[in-house]
Amino acid sequence: MRSVPTNYISVMTRILAVTALLSASACHRSNYVPDENEPKLPCKVQGACDATIMQYLTKLNKRGIKVVTIGQDYLISIPANALFNDQSPHIKWSSYSLLNDVSMFLKQFRKVAITVTSYSSKYVSVQREKALTLARSRVVGEYLWSQGIDSRFIFTQGLGSDKPIVIMKQGGDLSPNARIEITFRRAVVD
């Protein structure tokens, strides 16, 4: 059996050894000094607030443009007669302000790809329908690109009279089937 002073010295030696190990290993001051300024995200990464998006939705709706949202997917449907003369791939002068509103709406979101798809009513030939709708979607896609839309890709396609909304024999560009659809997926920021 040990004496009390021997036990005391043994316990004190262990406490001093543990204290020395802790101070030598983990209890020292590091050279890291945290930044006083919080990091800022690049412009438009967080997107616009809901109130701004609702203002643009109301403005577009008053101009005859339908915006459909399903989760993160958006579809903007523009009647063809709002942008183009009958059976023409050239944008009307009066419709540039409409496309500017659409581009401002698109700038509110972070997105990777935009798809511009054009449709038409029945015309004389299927080849003419597809050529006209492809030319229209390319013109709209190029204009959106020129407005500085922040997107990696802008895809364009013309589908002619495929996927009609209503059944009509001949409708021209006044038919609801003649439309330009812009689709994109809103990217979520982590």
Residue (of 107, 115, 106, 123) closest to 162 by Cα position: 123
Strand 179-186 to 111-119 pairing: antiparallel
- pLDDT, tens digit (0-9, with 9 covering 90-100), for 129-174: 899 999 999 999 999 999 988 888 899 999 888 887 777 666 666 7
Exposure string (b/e) for 144-157, b if CB count within 10 Å is 16 or more?
beeeebebeebebe
Q: What is the pTM of this model?
A: 0.71
Give the Cα separation of 131 and 91 in Å (integer): 16
DSSP state of 33: -
What integer pLDDT is reported at residue 32 of this predicted model? 47
SS3 76: strand
Mean pLDDT of the chain, nearest integer: 81
Residue 146 is predicted with a pLDDT of 92
Measured from the Cβ of residue 84, the count of other Cβ atoms closer than 10 Å reads 24
Sheet containing strand 66-70, strands side by side: 66-70, 73-79, 179-186, 111-119, 153-158
Q: Which residues of the chain have pLDDT under 50?
A: 32, 39-45
The pLDDT value given to residue 12:
84
Q: Which two three-digit tokens encode residue 162? A: 């495929």
Domains of the chain: residue spans and CATH? 50-186 (3.30.1330.60)
Outline where the chain has alpha helix (H). 4-25, 50-62, 80-83, 96-106, 126-146
Q: Is the separation of the CB atoms in 152 and 110 below 8 Å?
A: no
